[in-house]
Amino acid sequence: MDKLLITGGSPLQGEVRISGSKNAALPILASTLLTETPTLIKNVPHLRDVTTMVGLLGHMGVEVTIDDRLNVQVDTSSIHSYSAPYDLVKTMRASVLVLGPLLARFGHADVSLPGGCAIGSRPVNLHIQGLRQMGAEINVENGYIHARAKRLQGTVLYLDLVTVTGTENLMMAAALAEGTTVLENAAKEPEVVDLAHCLNSMGAKIQGAGTDTIEIQGVEHLHGTEYVVLPDRIETGTYLVAAAMTGGQVRVKQADPASLDAVLAKLRETGAQIQIGADWIELNMAGRRPTAVDIYTAPHPAFPTDMQAQFCALNAVAQGTGTVTETVFENRFMHIQELQRLGADIRLEGNTAICTGVEQLFGAPVMATDLRASASLVLAALVAKGDTLVDRIYHLDRGYECMEEKLMQLGCEVRRVP
């Protein structure tokens, strides 16, 4: 199993290109199941989760070809199976995103229940409930969601909780339903908006994505399209936090500054100077130590839960005391104990991590537990004195494209070791 060996102490300097968004690419790949003619998706990041989604489509008989510039061509004309088996779903919960499209187009889907997760219980009851309200017959048996429908019927769906993939699954299902579907209390994340734009370019009629209420007028058919995935806001934020923690100066390119308002506001609070262009952000911390900040995670446009762990790492070396309160997932603090192994002064009180910054962290072997927790350990390692060996980095490979290459390009000492 690969590990990352990181020698801390170098401030990040230079430019880095941001990859396409993982959490937009995954639903967009699933949405190709709705189309009758081939689709070309560009700016797809080369990540393990994307490979899993491509594998899942391949398992169904969908023809997927990827060129060396990571353009993905999908042709669903040879599909022969409507199932997502446990072996694939257990490695990536986002596999459940095929449920809505399969049911809407083929009237048939057998999708494994995702099962346990390192950051919380993460049920998919709202996905199932919404599809039932649209007329689907759904039985959950033997660990599988067995869903059948003639043609889904548009209706008004009120989501009890804001759910990102739930909103995406129901929006995709509604795109081919009969009549109009209204999703109330919909997720407003930029990835939901990107999926809506992609679906509209396939011929869907979706309005209101990015607000609480999304209206989807069902159509009979969707056609293939050519679509460019938006830049990854969490990858962007992660490199900016790394630059702030190390007292560096970094310009992220091919980014989407508009999707990062809450994160940039917090980075400014740490004392970082930030400049923004149409598709770039430059952060300058020039040899200074960041000030600790208070974070409260909530659905977009509030501060994203996927950036919480990285700010825990920042607070660990900042001046003063900061609190990080997690409200989206119930168990997303696995990184705290590992940060403590590097010398961080953090204590957990319920769903709040209270952190008093220390002058110096010290390298140690640490264990990655989930994707964003892994990122926080890498960031802490970049400022720790000596060597840190980050184990189980397959979590990182799920969501950060070429992370060690990008960090090396920014002047860090990082090496992948077997």
Applying CB under 6 A, which residues contact ligand EPU?
23, 26, 93-94, 120-127, 161, 163-166, 191, 305-306, 328-329, 371-372, 399
Shortest Å distance, C-beta 42 to ligand EPU: 19
CB-CB contact of 72 with 66 (8 Å): yes
User: Which CB, 249 or 305, lies closer to ligand EPU?
Assistant: 305
Q: In this structure, are residues 97 and 169 in contact, taking their beta carbons and an 8 Å threshold? A: yes
Cβ atoms 377, 334 nearer than 8 A = no
Instruction: Give phi and psi for 151, each to the nearest 5.
Output: -120, 130
Q: Which of 201, 109, 117, 209 is nearest to 167 (CA)?
A: 209
Pairing label, strands 180-184, 214-217: antiparallel
In this structure, are residues 148 and 137 in contact, taking their beta carbons and an 8 Å threshold? yes
Q: How far is the CB of 130 from ligand EPU (least distance, A)?
A: 9
| 3-state SS class at 29 | helix
Which tokens sit at 382?
Answer: 């970049």
CB-nearer residue toward ligand EPU: 105 or 372? 372
Rounded to the nearest whole angstrom, what is the least distance from the CB of residue 298 to ligand EPU in the complex? 9
| Token pair belonging to 353 | 């991590």
Rounded-to-integer distance, Cα 226 and Cα 24, Å: 15
| Nearer CB in complex with ligand EPU: 222/375 | 375
- Nearer to ligand EPU (CB atom), residue 302 or residue 364: 302
3-state secondary structure of 207: strand
Report the alpha-carbon distance of residue 46 to residue 103 in Å, rounded: 28
Could you tell me how many residues make up the chain? Answer: 418
Exactly one of 117, 198, 312, 355 is catalytic; which is it? 117
For residue 296, the surrounding DSSP H or E stretch is: strand 295-296
| Residue whose token pair is 């679906």 | 199
Complex with ligand EPU: residue 324 or 371, whichever CB lies closer: 371
Bridge-partner residues for 7, per DSSP? Answer: 387, 413
Residue 368 beta carbon to ligand EPU: minimum distance, rounded to whole angstroms: 12
Q: How far is the CB of 161 from ligand EPU (least distance, A)?
A: 5
- Please, what is the Cα angle at 405 between 401 and 406, to 5 degrees? 70
User: Tokens representing 170?
Assistant: 């129901």
Q: Give 108 or 122: the residue with its C-beta nearer to ligand EPU.
A: 122
Task: Give the nearer residue to ligand EPU in terms of CB position, either 88 or 318.
Answer: 88
CB of 192 to ligand EPU, least distance (A): 9
CA 267 – CA 286 distance, rounded (Å): 14
Provide the token pair at 407: 């960090």
Q: Which is nearer to ligand EPU, 93 or 266 (CB)?
A: 93
- DSSP conformation letters of 105-129: HHSEEEEE-----TT-----HHHHH
Alpha helices in 176-289 (DSSP H): 190-201, 233-245, 261-269
Catalytic residue check, 117? yes
Nearest approach, Cβ of residue 162 and ligand EPU (Å): 6
CB 225 within 8 A of CB 34: no
Beta carbon of residue 116, minimum distance to ligand EPU (angstroms, whole number): 12
Q: Is there a contact between 169 and 176 (Cβ–Cβ < 8 Å)?
A: no
Catalytic residues, by residue number, are 117
